[in-house]
């Protein structure tokens, strides 16, 4: 299925891109430490930007982690089960995840709109606008929902198409 492969590619690309933010955040922190302790001249901006960099990282990396099966799973009910039964459990899990993603997208969009409407700012000395991080929350929820949708479709396929027919179809 071409659309599922596109979703995987998109989240793989975003995950790889976002993973470099760790180095950016670390560089800002090192700069702050050197400025503060070597030159006795701390910055006003480093703490706020580091918070934003790591917030964007942790928010956007979720769909990539789902793609790579890196989220914590409680597999106690699935140990020793057939692939079809595991697929049914995954259908339930992905369905709940899609409901959560829909709620997060809806509320995140409301948070973003309110932040834009009221020109909401944080309480730091530089008074950074909050709408960029809230927009990233919406983008991340949509990416997460897309990856959950791909997992749901694959699980439905795994539950209702016997693995023998999949291997025979792939051999043709």
At 145, the pLDDT band (50, 70, 90 cuts) reads very high
pLDDT given at position 162: 66
Residue 40: φ, ψ to 5°? 50, 40
- How large is the average pLDDT for residues 100-119? 95
At 167, the pLDDT band (50, 70, 90 cuts) reads very low
Of the given ranges (9-23, 30-44, 73-87), which has the lowest mean pLDDT?
73-87
Other Cβ atoms less than 10 A from the Cβ of 133: the count is: 18
Domain that residue 23 falls in: 2-171
What would the pLDDT profile of 120-142 be if each residue is shown by its tens digit? 998 877 888 989 999 999 999 99
Average model confidence (pLDDT) across the chain: 89
Half-sphere exposure of 8 (CA within 13 A, CB side): 13
pLDDT given at position 77: 75
Handedness of CA 66, 140, 90, 78 (dihedral sign): positive
- What crossing angle do the helices spanning 21-37 and 2-19 adopt, rounded to 10°? 10
Q: What is the pTM of this model?
A: 0.84
- How large is the average pLDDT for residues 69-98? 85
- Percent of the chain having pLDDT more than 70? 94
What would the pLDDT profile of 24-43 be if each residue is shown by its tens digit? 999 999 999 999 999 999 99
**Pick from 158, 28, 26, 136: which is nearest to 89 by CA?**
158
Q: Please enumerate in sequence order all residues whose Cβ is within 8 A of that of 148, keeping only pairs 6 or more positions apart, or say none.
A: 66, 94, 97, 98, 101
- Percent of the chain having pLDDT more than 90? 66
- How large is the average pLDDT for residues 93-103? 95
Query: Radius of gyration over alpha carbons of the chain, in Å?
Result: 21
At 5, the pLDDT band (50, 70, 90 cuts) reads very high
At 168, the pLDDT band (50, 70, 90 cuts) reads very low
pLDDT higher than threshold 50 for residue 16: yes
3-class DSSP assignment, residue 58:
helix
- Our count of domains for the chain comes to 1
């Amino acid at each position: 299925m071409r659309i599922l492969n596109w979703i995987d590619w998109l989240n793989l690309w975003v995950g790889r891109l976002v993973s470099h933010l760790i180095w950016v955040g670390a560089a800002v922190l090192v700069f702050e430490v050197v400025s503060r302790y070597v030159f006795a001249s701390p910055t006003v901006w480093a703490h706020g930007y580091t918070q934003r960099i790591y917030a964007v990282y942790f928010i956007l990396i979720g769909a990539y982690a789902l793609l790579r099966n890196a989220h914590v799973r409680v597999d106690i009910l699935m140990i020793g089960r057939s692939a079809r039964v595991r697929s049914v459990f995954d259908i339930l899990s992905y369905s709940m995840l899609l409901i959560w993603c829909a709620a997060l997208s809806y509320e995140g969009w409301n948070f973003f709109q309110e932040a834009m409407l009221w020109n909401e700012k944080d309480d730091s000395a530089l008074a950074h606008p909050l709408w960029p991080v809230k927009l990233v929350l919406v983008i991340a929820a949509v990416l997460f929902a897309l990856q959950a949708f791909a997992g749901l479709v694959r699980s439905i396929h795994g539950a209702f198409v016997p693995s023998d027919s999949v291997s025979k179809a792939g051999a043709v």
